[in-house]
Structure 1
Amino acid sequence: MAHSGFSGSLTSPRFDLAVDMGHPFLNRTVDGFLKIGAVGACKVAAEETFECLHRGDVSKHKVERALKKMCKEGAYWGTIAGVYVGMEYGIERIRGHRDWKNAMLGGAVTGALVSAASNSHRQNVVKNAITGGAIATAAEFLNYLT
């Protein structure tokens, strides 16, 4: 009996952009903003493309609306990522250690800041701080697995 198979490896494309702002804190913050902002914009682009294909019509107004929404989402998620990366780096510098606790504290501070900036009630600020810390910690542990 003949046996066939596939041998090889699959890798994702890699694109690195180096922005030198003159300080590691600023470099990491801008890097986080750009990377996650691009992800947020791509998410909106995919959703809007699906909507246009699903409905079967495209207009100049819909394209303009989609571009505005892409910029808004990209800036929002990029800002949150920039704050998180900056907080994590700052906490790492203060503590003098690089471990999962920096991610947890950075996520908690970011969750609280974003919640407070959106004029949430006190219990929501605490809840979002806990959520931010939990998500950041989980992401850090998942990075150790890969």
Structure 2
Amino acid sequence: MPSSSFAGSFSTPKLNVAIDTGNPLLNVTVDGFLKIGTVAAIKSLAEDAYYIIKGVEEDVHGRCLLGFVCAVLHRTVAGLYVGMEYGMERVRGTRDWKNAMLGGALTGALISAATNKDKDKIVIDAIAGGAIATASLFINYLI
């Protein structure tokens, strides 16, 4: 009886781009900005391709513009978060999960304060930012 088998391995391609600005904080911020922004841009392009293929063409221009704006916002938030986390690491003199929590909380508070004036909402967004950053760090350690 004929049989077949598959032997091999799959690996994802890796691309490392290093931009040296001469400042470690700025280097980490730019790196996070580029990586997360690239993911956001690819996500919006994939969504736009889906809608074009499905024949929803009436508002493709609006979707493309929205995708671009979302990619820029994701990059801004990512750069701010990475800078805050790195700043916490430098101020505290240690590298642990608390830097992610504090960096996420400060990022959430700053972005919330820039978009609204409700103090309760700013505190809630700071808590959410800290929780999301801490959870993502723990998930990153598990993977």
Gaps of 5+ in 2: none
TM-score, normalised on structure 2? 0.89
Deviation at 1:85, TM superposition (A): 0.3
Matched with 1:134 is 131
Query: Out of 79, 86, 89, which is 1:89 matched to?
Result: 86
Matched with 1:22 is 22
Partners of 2:17 and 2:64 in 1: CA distance: 23
Number of equivalent positions: 143
- Asked if the contact 2:88–2:103 (Cα under 8 Å) also holds between the matched residues in 1, the reply is yes
Query: Out of 104, 112, 135, which is 1:115 matched to?
Result: 112
Partner secondary structure for residue 54 of structure 2: helix
Partners of 2:97 and 2:8 in 1: CA distance: 34
Gaps of 5+ in 1: none
Partners of 2:6 and 2:134 in 1: CA distance: 37
When the two chains are superposed, the root-mean-square deviation of aligned CA atoms in Å is: 2.0
Partners of 1:65 and 1:73 in 2: CA distance: 12
Runs of 4+ in 1 over 6 A off after TM superposition: none
Partners of 2:56 and 2:66 in 1: CA distance: 20
Query: Out of 91, 115, 125, which is 2:122 matched to?
Result: 125
TM-score, normalised on structure 1? 0.87
Matched with 1:33 is 33
